[in-house]
Structure 1
Amino acid sequence: MSAVVNSSTVPVSTASRRWAATGVASAIGSLASVFLSMSLSPEYIPGSVITSEAIDAGLMAERPSMIAFHIVTLASAGLLMVFAAGLHRRLTSALPSASLVPLIAFSGLLLVVAAQMLGTGLDTEFLFGIGDSAINLPSDIGFYSHWIATIPWLWFGGGVAALAVGAARRHGGVSGWLGITSTILGALTLLLAISPLQYMAAGPGALWLLIAAIGFSAESRTQPGSRC
């Protein structure tokens, strides 16, 4: 009697290029989101006074960038959800069943997703309400300018996720170089996130995501039977 091979029984430890590739795209999107939000912020000149009218006029001239910021940031959030799910599966398959590392990494990235979603939450209100005092008070535009230049940059959860991936190295869950890199960038991201300069955590956080996603993507190329 011949044995029947079930094609669905591919070991879950095999990494997928596709879930890892979403992390690369999300990292690029996160960096683009930071750049776009910075371009929408007023220029700070020592000794000058920035008025609500100046911010309002600046945003009115940057509507295409506002739309791009909204789309890129939310696209990054959606892609990061897929990467988070793939990372959870990847770590679960490689670590002891009682390990909390996969769930911690997954939860940390979901916090970044939430920050990016909240960071775009006021876009519609101001995209269509710029210059209309019936919708927005002059003082509101200054708040919005600070909002988009801070909230989407909050990568505290990304730092936690990176440290979790670094911890997986002790059990052989990830390669040595990726574990060390994750620990270093995760610690830097977390230190910035818990400091008053918390928005700066987006830099090393997104860099870690890019490196980790490329690492997992390259790893999958050496493993047969890769699936989504």
Structure 2
Amino acid sequence: MSTTLDPTTTGAGPGADGAPPGRGWILAGLGAGVLAIVGGIAGATVDAVYDPDVSGDAGAILRRLSEQVPQILVFHTATMLSCALLVLFAVGLHHQLRTRTAPDSLVPGVAAAGLGLVAVAQLLGAGLTTEFAFALAEDPDLVLPESAALFNHWIGTIPWLWGGAGLAGLALFRAARDGAYAPWIGWASLVLGGLSALFLVSPLQYMAGMTGPAWLVVVSLGLLRTPRGS
């Protein structure tokens, strides 16, 4: 689909404060989305606490987790790299939105704040791996079985809290409606971002860990094809 924009509604808009940065921040967003998917897949394979064969048996869960240290380390590394890249993308997107929206628009701030929430969830979600992964690898008896079970629940939930990306997606939908981006980027943001936002306010918040990264990948690819503002 074409992403040719109307030059009268894009580029240096009323709130422009200089040309947007290069496309490195967009590539950072693409990398953050892909790495989040990798981290999510790796984290999903750390499934001791969800295995019906050992469910409710903290000792058995601990032993199973000690066999899943490689997956834990892949989850941790991918999630933390995604976190760092997401911060770069959020800053770049905020800058570009400021040049493409009105000076008093809330869109840039909402987009950046939403992505900031995701980065914090990733940081906290992977934060406990330092405490558990190496202890599990060295000697599982160093870890309380009940703590190991909680750790597995933690990494199976907290890093999946991508609901903040839904706020960013809805902000991009609004920007696209105002002509800042191609319509298809807006509609993709409405669908994937809207779902993520709905998950944010529901008891199924972790489901946004599937729709949020997908939105980020799609939008990053779209932004790569979008002409830079003047």
TM-score by length of 2: 0.85
Report whether the alignment pairs 1:91 with 2:97: yes
**Helix, strand or coil at the partner of 1:128:** helix
Change (3 A) 1:89 1:120: same
Report whether the alignment pairs 1:150 with 2:148: no
- Equivalent residue number for residue 54 of structure 1: 60
Report whether the alignment pairs 1:20 with 2:26: yes
- Equivalent residue number for residue 103 of structure 1: 109
CA contact 2:20–2:228 (8 Å) conserved in 1: yes
- Equivalent residue number for residue 188 of structure 1: 195
Q: In structure 1, how many angstroms separate the alpha carbons of the residues matched to 2:223 and 2:19?
A: 12
CA contact 1:15–1:216 (8 Å) conserved in 2: no
| Structure 2 alignment gaps of length 5 or more | 1-16
**How far did residue 64 of structure 1 move?**
1.7
Instruction: In structure 1, give the amino acid aligned to 2:113.
Output: S
Percent identity reads 36
Q: In structure 1, how many angstroms separate the alpha carbons of the residues matched to 2:99 and 2:55?
A: 56
Instruction: In structure 2, give the amino acid aligned to 1:126.
Output: F
CA contact 1:16–1:217 (8 Å) conserved in 2: no
- Equivalent residue number for residue 79 of structure 1: 85
CA contact 2:108–2:171 (8 Å) conserved in 1: yes
CA contact 2:20–2:95 (8 Å) conserved in 1: no
CA contact 2:126–2:159 (8 Å) conserved in 1: yes
| Structure 1 alignment gaps of length 5 or more | 1-10
**Helix, strand or coil at the partner of 2:47:** coil
CA contact 1:13–1:94 (8 Å) conserved in 2: no
Q: In structure 1, how many angstroms separate the alpha carbons of the residues matched to 2:131 and 2:53?
A: 31
Q: 2:118 aligns with which of 91, 99, 112?
A: 112
Q: In structure 2, how many angstroms separate the alpha carbons of the residues matched to 1:57 and 1:71?
A: 22
- Equivalent residue number for residue 168 of structure 1: 175
**How far did residue 112 of structure 1 move?**
0.2
Q: In structure 2, how many angstroms separate the alpha carbons of the residues matched to 1:84 and 1:45?
A: 37
Instruction: In structure 1, give the amino acid aligned to 2:123.
Output: M
**CA displacement 1:152-204 (0-9 Å, x = unmatched):** 00012111111011111232122111011101111111112221111011111
1:203-214 matches, within 5 Å, as 203-214=210-221
- Equivalent residue number for residue 41 of structure 2: 35
**Helix, strand or coil at the partner of 1:99:** coil
Larger radius of gyration: 1
Instruction: In structure 2, give the amino acid aligned to 1:178.
Output: I
CA contact 1:12–1:90 (8 Å) conserved in 2: no
Aligned length: 212
CA contact 1:23–1:80 (8 Å) conserved in 2: yes
Q: In structure 1, how many angstroms separate the alpha carbons of the residues matched to 2:92 and 2:181?
A: 14
**How far did residue 50 of structure 1 move?**
3.8
**Helix, strand or coil at the partner of 1:129:** helix
